[in-house]
Amino acid sequence: GYFEQVVRQCRYSSKDLQGIEFIDSYVFNKAEYVRFNSTVGKYVGYTELGVKNAEAWNKGPELAVELGELERFCKHNAAIYYSA
């Protein structure tokens, strides 16, 4: 069988919300093939398919969606994480 997974992470380095990093990783059969990193600001491919996807997604509406996830997903939930 095949295994596909998307892993979304918020990495917090301080409580002031300036050091937050959003990472969206795409994995197929335990090998990451493409990743969005908010610090880099674009998709990066790690396999032949990942490079092709990254090139297409960096030119399309997918990039704008990912750029908004840092605010929508990470910063919005930071207070919940910090209170725990």
CA distance 35 to 17: 22
**Residue linked to tokens 């939930």:** 77
Q: Name the token pair of 70.
A: 């840092």
> pLDDT per residue over 11-33, tens digit each?
988 777 778 899 999 999 999 99
Q: CB-based burial of residue 13 (10 Å sphere; 0-12 exposed, 13-18 middle, 19+ buried)?
A: exposed
CATH 3.30.465.10 fits 4-83, yes or no: no
Domain ranges of the chain: 4-83
The model carries a pTM of: 0.85
Mean pLDDT score across all residues of the chain? 91
